[in-house]
Amino acid sequence: MKTLNKPRQKINQIYFYFLLILFTDFIMAKAQTVSEDLLKFNGSLNLSSDLYSVNGIQARQPGNVQRLLLRTNLRLFNQIDIPFEVSLSNSDSRFLQPFNQFGVSPRITDWLRFHGGYFYTNLSELSFGDIKIYGGGLELTPGNFRLKAFYGRSKVAREPDSLKGFGGIYNQTTYGFLIGYGNENVAYLNLSFFKSIDDSASIKRISISEGPIENLVSSASFGFKIFKPLFIRAELAASLFSSDIQSQTISTVKIPKTIFTPKVSTQVDGAAKLGIEIEPQSFWALRFGAKWIGPGFYSAGYSNLQNDLLELTIDPTLRLLENKLNLRSSIGIRKNNLRNNKLSTTNRFIGLFAADYQVTDFFGINLQYNNNQIKATQYSDSLKISNVFNLISISPRFNFSAFNGINNLSLTYSYQNSEDSNPLFRSKVSNKTNTINLIHSVFFPSTLSFTTSILHNHVTLPNLNVKITSINEIISHQFFKNKLSVSLNLGYSITQVTNTNGFYIFGIRAGYSLDKFGNISFNLTNNNFKSGDPLSPSFNEFIGNLQYSINF
């Protein structure tokens, strides 16, 4: 029975895909009969089939996978977008918007916009900015006046699982607003406020569960132009954060409970940010930045906002010789342990310099230098943390006509040196890498093109040397008035460690344009690995893909 059911399942899948395409075409036809001011319909359809086989090693992916991806968007009254997505395959099928994440953000006028369902909004750089909300909100921007307000759920409850070491997630409610006035290119002031609080009853807390939190952040951001080339932007923020709202309440601190309830787990701290932009002339500019975030500052409005840091940066840029020579650099320092309440302080230095000079139409050159250092104060004669990274690269390039075609030739040499010292090693571990990469491309009027690349990489470790040399050739051509594109990829790599290994690559790609009826493409790649190590087996791998796509 199983052998009879498999063909039926394939037929049913193909039949479903066919009906779905017919349904899409029907909707498109209906949409075209309605005035574009009332209804617009667009989207994309992608059908693909992946083939895979391998000899010598365990398969790294399924042997045969078919996929269908349909994305559509219905726009009503030129204001409301209703997106919809369907993803089907013989390994995984799911229906996305609007069933589990549906959101609309209609703009009624040039200065009024509403949010409903799932949406993102931003208050300031130190308060709230990258968390998705499920709820509602509005934005008013008449003239120089600004008002934002929102309310909704920022986290969905998930029960803890002790077997997986998962402590659970509480339902979290978030609301906030911003009120501001001024032209953000001349002078402005924005005041923002937001609060997030967990529902302690939304999950059953276990021993590894963290406490439900409450977080309030208020911020004032402002900017003003002192004179034409000088503009200053700044923000000051304060945070109240309770790591466990089920801990004891502090009754001596008088704050309305509707705003915040102080607990013994509550911490208070601040943050500040300053930016100075100077551009006296069009050919040079200077930007200075400073950021200070206290160790107790916390914002639930940013998923990865680091605290306990002081950061200073300066970024000059210079354009000379009618913009043929561009120079830019960046220097920055960062440190933590601002209140000396940790055993060690970590200091970080970042230096970057880049120069690009297009000397003539024939010749140009690029130079880069990067220095990145992380060091912690030494707390033992034999245990310390230090990481120093240096990278320098030089890349001349040439553009010329030869062989009846247009030629591009570039050569890149880079040297990378890093030293790492940490509590796992009592001595520094040095890593040196030399890389040479040569690329030559020639393009003929017939659309025939050749691209040749040669790469050599030499990595030196304390007890190991790794050498990788590879050569690759890509041949491309277009046929039938450029509707059919065909490319051939041939490559060989040799790796020398303790043994010598060879790696062959053969690939072919073809794509054909059906104009308004979409595009069809085919890819086939053969990877052949010849191992010189008895413990590392040789293998031969085939990867194929047939794909059809259309935008409507």
Q: What is the pLDDT of residues 378-402, one digit of tens each?
A: 554 444 567 788 999 999 999 999 9
Q: Taking residues 345-349, what's their average pLDDT?
A: 88
pLDDT tier for residue 25 given thresholds of 50, 70 and 90: low
**What's CA 15's distance to the chain center, in Å?**
38
All domains of the chain in start order, with CATH: 102-307 (2.40.160), 338-447+457-462 (no CATH)
The predicted pLDDT at position 392 comes to: 96
Burial of 453 (0-12, 13-18, 19+ CB in 10 A): middle
The predicted pLDDT at position 316 comes to: 96
The answer to whether residue 425 scores a pLDDT higher than 80 is no
Residue 128: CB atoms within 10 Å: 28
Strands 64-76 and 103-104: unpaired
The answer to whether residue 506 scores a pLDDT higher than 70 is yes
Residue 279: CB atoms within 10 Å: 15
In whole angstroms, give the CA distance from residue 31 to residue 346: 60
Instruction: HSE, CB side, 13 Å, CA atoms: give it for residue 38.
Output: 6
pLDDT tier for residue 429 given thresholds of 50, 70 and 90: confident
The answer to whether residue 263 scores a pLDDT higher than 50 is yes
Token digits of residue 405:
């075609």
Radius of gyration of the chain (CA): 30
DSSP notation for 193-247: EEEEEEETTSS---TTPPPP-EEEEEEEEEEEEEETTEEEEEEEEEEEEES-TTS
**Beta pairing partners, 509:** 487, 523
The answer to whether residue 84 scores a pLDDT higher than 80 is no
The predicted pLDDT at position 21 comes to: 54
Which tens digits make up the pLDDT trace of 530-540?
A: 988 877 889 99
What is the pTM for the complete model shown?
0.74
Beta-carbon contacts of residue 1 (< 8 Å; ≥ 6 apart): none
The H or E element containing residue 273 is strand 266-281
